[in-house]
Chains A and B, each alone.
Chain A
């Protein structure tokens, strides 16, 4: 196991209002971390900072041993942004959306890329839809196509921001199972932002709880046994977080 991400004492301010305060943690290859916290806790700011999309006020971020400021191996990272309403007029086919995941990488033979996209779509159970308009798919299918767009890069680190928001429970379940398989079989490290801690308990082994500053980072089981967290959340809340997934 090697450390692929180091976040050292980072701070993010918006108009002098702190969004993140002195956050530090490390992530090892193959880890599966759920990033949770209340609304406005700085979860999206943190992942955007890791991806270089958000400026940090102070601190350092290292990806795969390189400082973020000079990081160039973007092929190792894939990102599934928070679901937003895609332009319904946008004339993109499913295949085009998946292949756009290769943008920014060195050119590869067209046939090879298309075959890879096809395999991914089949794995994600989007079968026979590659020439359909992306906008005509259901919400769950669109999320899986966007996941295929991320996976076609064969990333070593996959960052997902609330990927299952607005999906119905069955589709959510399917989505989590797919992520689990990617993590276990391919060793892809995953950081999944969610506001629902019960999701983390079911699949991710670790929890990073943020509320502008880092409240907890460690194994989910340790979180549930922690007296400090019991004091922080209160008995009842900790029980809900830790045991909801069993029901």
Chain B
């Protein structure tokens, strides 16, 4: 009952709604990233987002608005580097990620004075989500899910076998571009909620949990969203009940769910 009383507070309602939307979108996108061995793209983009937040603070612009376009551009850079240059995609992620963090640290050291604000983004705060950010998340989640539902079959073909998908006449470039853009915007939004250090967990852990038990692709996407949502609810409840950091509590809840699904999966096999 005490927990329910918390929801008389606006900021808690916003946190719950924002966390739920982020969870569903990140959970579903995470399945595509994990299966295409792009799990670490979330990590790389969150580091870029850190640099972008620093830039926003330096320029006196709300960091979220600076982070969105810069993270999106970084996502395309990773994709292009991996596609065109003579090295693997994970090396491209590593390069962009390192430059993002280095840029953020240099800006912070040059500017001095906003370190406290900047470092609050390292671990995020779901409870500090604003209405504007919530509306953005709502639009992003609706657009993202609509895209995935509408292009479900081509997206499946792309994830399963990219060469065959191209030969089937699937618009591979278009789908890859939209998936990347959605991932970048989700990461930029998630950095505020769970922090630079933990954002990739939101993409990877629910997908990894779903993969332990699923029998087909459709249920994998659905269960990744459910596990992610459950992580947010449990994490938020634990955070409020035991006065723990929200982002870290969500990640730990997600990890325990992964352990649970892993054990069930092993037992079934």
**A is bound by B:** yes
Binding site for B on A (CB under 8 A): 51-53, 72, 74-75, 77-79, 81, 86-87, 89-93, 95-97, 99-105, 131, 133, 149, 153
Binding site for A on B (CB under 8 A): 35, 153-154, 156-161, 163-171, 210-211, 214-220
Whether A92 touches B217, Cβ cut-off 8 Å, given contacts A99-B153, A100-B153, A103-B153, is yes
Q: Can you list 27 A-B contacts (CB < 8 A)?
A: A51-B166, A53-B167, A72-B169, A74-B167, A77-B167, A78-B168, A79-B164, A79-B168, A81-B167, A87-B35, A89-B211, A90-B159, A91-B210, A91-B216, A92-B217, A93-B217, A99-B153, A101-B168, A102-B153, A103-B154, A103-B165, A103-B168, A103-B170, A104-B154, A104-B157, A104-B170, A105-B169
Residue of B nearest to A99 (CB): B153
Residue of A nearest to B172 (CB): A104
Q: What secondary structure prevails in chain B residues at the interface with A?
A: helix
Whether A51 touches B156, Cβ cut-off 8 Å, given contacts A93-B217, A96-B217, A96-B218, is no
Contacts of A105 in B (CB 8 A): 168-169
Contact across chains for B220 and A91 when beta carbons are under 8 A apart: yes
Contact across chains for A53 and B166 when beta carbons are under 8 A apart: yes
B216 touches which of A52, A86, A92, A102 (Cβ 8 Å): A92
The 6 closest A-B pairs by CB, nearest first: A74-B169, A104-B169, A103-B157, A93-B216, A79-B167, A91-B214
Residue of A nearest to B208 (CB): A89
A131 touches which of B164, B168, B216 (Cβ 8 Å): B216
Minimum Cβ distance to chain B for residue A46 (Å): 14
The CA of A32 and the CA of B45, in the complex, are separated in Å by 50
Contacts of A51 in B (CB 8 A): 166-167
B35 touches which of A77, A90, A97 (Cβ 8 Å): A90
Contacts of A92 in B (CB 8 A): 156, 160, 216-217
Whether A86 touches B161, Cβ cut-off 8 Å, given contacts A93-B215, A131-B215, A131-B216, is yes
The CA of A52 and the CA of B168, in the complex, are separated in Å by 11
A100 touches which of B156, B169, B171 (Cβ 8 Å): B156
Minimum Cβ distance to chain B for residue A239 (Å): 37
Which of A51, A91, A133, A149 has the largest count of B CB atoms less than 10 A from its CB?
Answer: A91
Contacts of B166 in A (CB 8 A): 51-53
Minimum Cβ distance to chain B for residue A35 (Å): 16
Contacts of B164 in A (CB 8 A): 79, 81, 149
Contacts of A79 in B (CB 8 A): 164, 167-168
Contacts of A72 in B (CB 8 A): 169
